[in-house]
Amino acid sequence: MRLARRLAREDDGSTLVLTIGFAALALALILAVTAATSLLIERRRLFTVADGAALAAAEAFALEQVRFDGEDAAPELADGAVDQAAAAWAAAAGSGLAHLRVDGASADARSATVSVSSAWRPPVVTLFLPEGVRLEVSSTARAVFVD
């Protein structure tokens, strides 16, 4: 009984438990911030590829596809050429992205919209973070003909 009262009054060893708890919390926070930063960088890289693919798709027209309305010239985009140009650009520019694919490329009269996606995995897989997610972005570029 006296031993139990004496142990309850003594503080020896209680700071060690607190230190271990704070160290675990700090480690979890560092891993979460690292994963969030990696996700942001990967999304920006994917946006760069999508922007380039949309620009390449918007410029994928032949001279025969330019129509003249009075004095102004305007290109008409074809879906097949837009698909090919977007896929070629994504294949060339997205070499560092995991499982990159062009989900869709479409054209209206003067602009091309490209959707691309890739897989992202956190740098360190833990119990708190997922094993990975699929990132999807879209970009639109307008075709302009300067004479």
Which pTM was predicted? 0.76
Mean pLDDT score across all residues of the chain: 83
Checking if the pLDDT of 28 tops 70, the result is yes
Contact (CB, 8 A) for 75 and 145: yes
**What's residue 98's pLDDT?**
86
Question: What band does 7 get if pLDDT is binned at 50, 70 and 90?
Answer: low
Burial status of residue 55 (CB atoms within 10 A of its CB: 0-12, 13-18, 19 or more): buried
**What's residue 53's pLDDT?**
92
Edge to edge, what strands does the sheet with 111-120 contain?
Answer: 98-107, 111-120, 133-142
Sequence-ordered alpha helix ranges (H) in 10-144:
14-58, 79-93
What amino acid occupies position 105? A
Q: Could you tell me which of 52, 50, 80 has the C-alpha nearest to residue 65? A: 80
